Chains A and B, each alone.
Chain A
Amino acid sequence: MSKVVKSIKEVVALAGLKDGMTVSFHHHLRNGDFVLNMVMEEIASQGLKDINVNASSLFDVHTPLLEHIENGVVTGISADYIAAGLGRAISKGIMEKPVQFRTHGGRPSDIVQGRTPIDVAFIAAPTADTMGNCSGKYGPSACGSLGYAFADAMFAKKVVVITDNLVPYPMQDFSISEDWVDYVVPVEAIGNPKGIVSGTTQITRDPVGLVMASHAAQVIAHSGLLKDGFSFQTGAGGASLAAAKFLKDIMMEKGIQGSFGMGGITGYLVDMLQAGCFRSLLDVQCFDLKAVESIRTDPRHKEISAMQYASPTSRSAAVDSLDVVILGATEIDTDFNVNVHTDSNGFIMGGSGGHSDTAAGAKLSMIIAPMFRARLPIVTDRVTCVSTPGSDIDVLVTQGGIAVNPKNVELTQQLKAAGLPIVDIHELKEKTERITGTPRKLPKGDRVVAEVIGRNGNLQDVIYNVP
């Protein structure tokens, strides 16, 4: 038998795609991805309508989707994260049916539980063999981990692997195995390597960012969690990376060996692994070339699926073993609810990704954010959108002080005893508004453009159109 199909055009017909069906995509090729656009263009040109797109994330490279929405080809979108370009159009009300946001753990959970069935999953594979064994670690479009694609591959009715590096059967060191794969389609290029992984992500040199990062590292150092076996996740933002750098210095100085670093993996976490700060890295997605190189060559650097990473219905998920996570926020309110879905004008420009999952799992979830960005205070009375509930957030670190969620009585005492600048979050809000002024509230739209589904499947919040 042969699974190799000549073109995407043929595979769309072979896979039995019909009006009203659901197709799925994963986002490891990030803003360099060609696969979603190639597939959707073929679906459109075959005259299919009313297609539901379930993607782990959507980037601005995917703006051709807007045309498919206008033409009725695409009528439903589910994603864990939607970048600002597409998000703006959605906030303007381009879709009739609200977009469904999930978390990186909630998405595979719903796929596994059969709540969001997928008819055809398209796997962008940097290397695949003729039977569909595939991996992200090798090939000209290497992206490292394929973590988000596992649930799609295991539970979709049909699975199509699209690759630009077809190798003889069997390839070694595959991630997704042939028993889940129906078709393999070789194409010229699955993505633009420049958009897939960045070079070296730089840590911040901004003095405000460095103050925040240093506070963040001190909070971790005095939390009681920083000891042998410590586990840690951080985002790829400049200040978060600087915090990781300060944390590394403390761990090296005290000779602490942690158990694992996790997440979207950057070169900085690879440095920590190589310096002996962790025994292993658990990797659901690689952010830079150094991470890709590491997952390919270092057996301590392990690819994990999104189910293992964060699913609330897995028998266990790695987020539940996490000690500390550093996260970002566009807004946080005085109840510690965090918004990462919309910008200060209410336009969609992101999504939870793993934010809610890691915040729920980690013993200490820390938000690191400046007191204000472009004159807009970070702390508000009520966030525009609850991306992660305040009950899962422990600490907010800013350059103007550290606010601890009042539920953490003991932590507050520990940090005060360590001489850290602890402030009440209400005071922090007032202090900020004395510098910026108090912003006027924005008019809210009257139509729901997106539903934010919490990691446990609950409707956590809705996002309104921007009038």
Chain B
Amino acid sequence: MKIVRSASAGTMESSDAYIEIEPATGLEIQLESVVQQQFGQEIRSAVEEMLRENGVEDASVRIIDRGALECVIRARVETAILRGKGEN
């Protein structure tokens, strides 16, 4: 799946995450989280997995996490991908 436009999903509320996705060459993931030290690796791999599952190979993704559960992060990332993908 190709990301053709900037898109976002989620909110900055506590226990949610805000995701921005943009067209790019290659994958770039930027993570900012209130639970970086406790769950940073888990969040990063959840995001990578969602990108892989949706066949996204080129994108710049920014995650601002306010302590969202992993299911929430996955849902927000998937929504951002669907909003940013090209018509096909």
Q: A437: CB under 8 A from chain B?
A: yes
By size class, the interface of chain B is 10 to 19
- Interface Cβ pair total, 8 Å cutoff: 36
Q: A254: CB under 8 A from chain B?
A: no
Tell whether A375 pairs with B39 under 8 Å between CB atoms, given A436-B69, A437-B70. yes
**Across the two chains, which residue of chain A brings its CB closest to B40?**
A440
Q: A313: CB under 8 A from chain B?
A: no
**Across the two chains, which residue of chain A brings its CB closest to B13?**
A374
* CB of A8 to closest CB in B, whole Å: 41
* CB of B24 to closest CB in A, whole Å: 28
Please determine whether A440 and B39 come into contact, CB atoms closer than 8 angstroms.
yes
Question: In the complex, which of the residues A345, A375, A439, A440 contacts B15, with contact meaning CB atoms closer than 8 Å?
Answer: A375
Q: A460: CB under 8 A from chain B?
A: no
Chain B residues within an 8 Å CB radius of A38:
none
Main secondary structure of the interface of B (DSSP, over half): loop
Q: B23: CB under 8 A from chain A?
A: no
Among listed B4-12, B30-38, B48-56, B79-87, interface-contacting one: B30-38
Please determine whether A440 and B34 come into contact, CB atoms closer than 8 angstroms.
no
Q: A435: CB under 8 A from chain B?
A: yes
Please determine whether A439 and B67 come into contact, CB atoms closer than 8 angstroms.
no
A84, B36: Cα distance in complex, Å: 19
Q: A97: CB under 8 A from chain B?
A: no
Q: B28: CB under 8 A from chain A?
A: no
Please determine whether A345 and B70 come into contact, CB atoms closer than 8 angstroms.
no
Q: A376: CB under 8 A from chain B?
A: yes
Please determine whether A373 and B67 come into contact, CB atoms closer than 8 angstroms.
yes
Please determine whether B34 and A374 come into contact, CB atoms closer than 8 angstroms.
yes
Give a binary string over A342-356; 1 marks a CB under 8 Å from any B CB, 0 the rest. Answer: 001100000000000
Q: A187: CB under 8 A from chain B?
A: no
Q: B14: CB under 8 A from chain A?
A: yes
Give a binary string over B58-74; 1 marks a CB under 8 Å from any A CB, 0 the rest. Answer: 00000000111110000
Q: A13: CB under 8 A from chain B?
A: no
Main secondary structure of the interface of A (DSSP, over half): loop
Chain A residues within an 8 Å CB radius of B35:
344, 374-376, 439
Please determine whether A375 and B37 come into contact, CB atoms closer than 8 angstroms.
no
Please determine whether A345 and B69 come into contact, CB atoms closer than 8 angstroms.
no
**Across the two chains, which residue of chain A brings its CB closest to B67?**
A374
Please determine whether B38 and A344 come into contact, CB atoms closer than 8 angstroms.
yes
Give a binary string over A421-443; 1 marks a CB under 8 Å from any B CB, 0 the rest. Answer: 00000000000000111011010
Please determine whether B42 and A437 come into contact, CB atoms closer than 8 angstroms.
yes
Chain B residues within an 8 Å CB radius of A375:
15, 35, 38-39, 67-69
**Across the two chains, which residue of chain B brings its CB closest to A377?**
B38
Question: In the complex, which of the residues A373, A374, A437, A442 contacts B37, with contact meaning CB atoms closer than 8 Å?
Answer: A442
Question: In the complex, which of the residues A376, A435, A442 contacts B67, with contact meaning CB atoms closer than 8 Å?
Answer: A376
Chain B residues within an 8 Å CB radius of A345:
37
A197, B41: Cα distance in complex, Å: 43
Question: In the complex, which of the residues A373, A435, A437 contacts B39, with contact meaning CB atoms closer than 8 Å?
Answer: A437
A405, B39: Cα distance in complex, Å: 30
Among A373, A375, A437, A442, chain B packs the most CB atoms within 10 A around the CB of A375
**Across the two chains, which residue of chain B brings its CB closest to A345?**
B37
A393, B69: Cα distance in complex, Å: 29
Given contacts A373-B67, A375-B38, A376-B35, 6 further A-B contacts (CB under 8 A): A344-B35, A374-B35, A375-B68, A436-B69, A437-B70, A442-B37
**Which residue numbers of B lie inside 8 Å of A, CB to CB?**
14-15, 34-35, 37-39, 41-42, 66-70
Could you list some 8 contacts between A and B, CB below 8 A? Answer: A373-B14, A373-B15, A374-B15, A375-B38, A439-B38, A440-B37, A440-B41, A442-B38
**Which residue numbers of A lie inside 8 Å of B, CB to CB?**
344-345, 373-376, 435-437, 439-440, 442
